[in-house]
Structure 1
């Protein structure tokens, strides 16, 4: 989605806005309405805002409201927005400001999300708006997650158009990703309903910071979720994310209860969340509460945003985390952001044979038969062709 190298050299706000518009226009080459000519302003527009009334708020005295979508529970006076920057109190009611106006839409390999147990070697049509309910100091997409709708170029792209475009591009799924999709919940919900009717999967990469009621409703149309379990201490979440750990753990358990396919990503950041005793505690919790067959991805950190002075995660640290997870009893443990590493592959936990070979987003050998190990017949959790 974002050319990371451009931002590593210190991209200015003006450069980013121009780049955002170019990214959206590039989509027209794949069949979106043309971004050239008189119609351009109707398709891609800086600061495009499309509103929709949200059901997730409680009216308070004096025209104030409390947002009930995520655990932040922002209290908003008239005309004020929540921490996510995309929900506003208008005359005592809460409106989403990003309904049907994403700032990013791309066709990605499903492995990029990352999902390693969902339709390998297929593509996922991926959308995002601006905004987030966290403020992670290490966010790789901070240019849009920490922006307001007025800051970037957005596209007029209602749910029915998203589904139609995904089908045209032969995607097998629609992914709600790049930023925290909870903040564009109404857009995601309406799109997901249409996607399911069209035979597409709905997948989400989320921080899991959402209240139980909207999450359980979303589970009715959600096929798979990859949750960023960013750390395993409250202090980490408070200091680096301006968030909380407990609601994320609750969301993980709800997703398991609702039988949504679940994978977990843990970005391992040097000196911040790389203490191996804490990693072990996290893995034991996952095994007990979610099951030993829950895939986990230990992902390599690269210096970004407000943590540019830290080094990339040593590969040896990721390997130690993987070894601890396996010894704790987790069966599917991956290493991410290290293309070519053995930790990218899927192995059968019973016979130890190679089941899916990966190099980056490329798929090599596959030895699955009807969702089972092609050698010993052990069922492998996931959504398979």
Structure 2
């Protein structure tokens, strides 16, 4: 299928792809950094449209999204490919497949089949996840348009490296996003991710301003992105957009090309959560530490439990009509049937 968001580069036959912030200039017969967009005789094509490497029904908390349709299920899809080359990727077998192996595989799954699958499974949303939804944008966009028309919500679980043009194109059909803010250091992004920091920060701010519900995840890697100075700067940045942006700080486990780094101590996660609170964030969570008290949502006013969680399971809600049942404070939770909460 012919791709969107590209133009001829200096009269062709090379093309300029402006789907993501890499802004690849792609010569005929070559592919972009994502490995799934190819220049064929001066026309850019996507190689993964309708080609799902994975589809599943997940708890929405797995994304993780704790404040958007809590307790619901989300129909989740992905294709192969990614525009990042993270040394610590947890899904490298599918995200790096086109780049490393030159291979593109997956099962045929049309946008209508995706929407029908979500409705049949009783899901309230479709999540574009597991790899990077930006690189299968044409597929995700067509699914999202059908989903919105069918009353479903659309969620991107993303590295945030999309352009303003892409976000403008999907505006109105994207309802929530979890953005993986991997570090607050440009050097980290360049050395361990193969990208730059600023476009990710721009996307977080732009998504929020568009009215998309945003949550942010940071995988805390010992000795790489866990200094107090960096964590304070990151938390302060999020709070400057809105103190109601939930921040998920997840525990690292050795994987892929970063196996020489030990797992994150739980104490380091707890320190990051404390820093987030000091910098003014209202909702902060520890990830990959099952059973930890930081999985639950607390009222930023009185500290009572709003939503109790154990893993991906949610317990009774302490929320009544969008407010804390104990102190009456308005809380930043978008529940079924309610309009998106905004500060």
Do they fold alike, i.e. is TM over 0.5? yes
Residue 335 of structure 2 corresponds to: 384
| Mapped pair 1:242 → 2:194 | yes
Is 1:64 matched with 2:14?
yes
Aligned to 2:340: none
For the 8 Å contact 2:80–2:105, the answer to whether it is kept is no
Q: Contact 1:57–1:66 (CA<8 Å) still a contact in 2?
A: yes
Change (3 A) 1:54 1:323: same
* Alignment-derived partner of residue 10 in structure 1: none
Q: Structure 1 pair 136/150, CA: closer, same or farther in 2 (3 Å)?
A: closer
Query: Which of 306, 309, 314 matches 2:260?
Result: 309
User: Which residue does the alignment assign to 1:13?
Assistant: none
- Specify which of 354, 369, 373 is matched with residue 324 of structure 2: 373
| Counterpart for residue 75 of structure 1 | 25
Q: Are residue 297 (structure 1) and residue 248 (structure 2) matched?
A: yes
**C-alpha displacement of 1:374:** 1.5
What aligned pairs does 1:83-162 form with structure 2 within 5 A after superposition?
Answer: 83-148=33-98, 151=103, 153-162=105-114
- The answer to whether residue 323 in structure 2 is matched with residue 362 in structure 1 is no
- Alignment pair present for 1:255 and 2:207: yes
Alignment of 1:316-331 (within 5 A): 316-331=267-282
Q: Shift in Å at residue 354 of structure 1?
A: 0.6
**1:275 matches 2:254:** no
> What is the alpha-carbon distance in structure 1 between the residues aligned to residue 290 and residue 110 of structure 2?
36
Q: Aligned to 1:214, what secondary structure does the other structure show?
A: helix
Post-superposition offset of 1:377: 2.0
Alpha-carbon distance in structure 2 between the residues aligned to 1:370 and 1:177: 31
Q: 1:378 to 1:165 in 2, by over 3 A?
A: same
CA contact (8 A) 1:103 1:152 kept: no
Counterpart check, 1:199 vs 2:151? yes
CA contact (8 A) 2:159 2:179 kept: yes
Verify the 8 A CA contact 1:216 1:254 in the aligned structure 2.
no
Distance 1:219 1:371 in 2: 25
Structure 2 CA distance for aligned equivalents of residues 343 and 115 of structure 1: 14
- Matches of 2:102 and 2:322, distance apart in 1: 46
- Name the counterpart of 1:214: 166
Question: Which ranges of 4 or more aligned residues in structure 1 deviate by more than 4 Å?
Answer: none
Using the alignment, how far apart are the partners of 1:320 and 1:83 within structure 2? 36
Q: What do the CA deviations read for 1:265-287 (whole angstroms, capped 9, x no partner)?
A: 01000111011111011111111
Does the aligned pair in 2 maintain the 1:122–1:171 contact within 8 Å?
A: yes
Structure 2: distance between partners of 1:326 and 1:219: 31
Classify the secondary structure of the residue corresponding to 1:151. Answer: coil
Per-residue CA distance 1:311-366 (angstroms, 9 max, x = gap): 11100000000001001110000001111101101000011111100011011221
Provide the TM-score with structure 2 as the length reference: 0.95
| Equivalent residue in structure 2 for 1:172, among 124, 142, 164 | 124
Q: How many residues align?
A: 333
Match of 2:2 among 29, 53, 66: 53
Whether the 8 Å CA contact 1:279–1:321 is kept in 2: the answer is yes
Compute the RMSD of aligned alpha carbons: 1.2
Q: Secondary structure at the match of 2:219?
A: strand
Query: What are the equivalent positions in structure 2 for 1:219-230 lying under 5 Å apart?
Result: 219-230=171-182
CA–CA separation in structure 2 for the residues paired with 1:314 and 1:143: 26
Q: What's the offset of the Cα at 1:217?
A: 2.2
CA contact (8 A) 2:181 2:200 kept: yes
Provide structure 1 residue ranges, at least 5 long, that are not aligned to the other structure.
Answer: 1-51
Equivalents in 1 of 2:205, 2:154: separation in Å?
19
C-alpha contact (below 8 Å) 1:88/1:95 kept by paired residues: yes
Q: Secondary structure at the match of 1:335?
A: strand
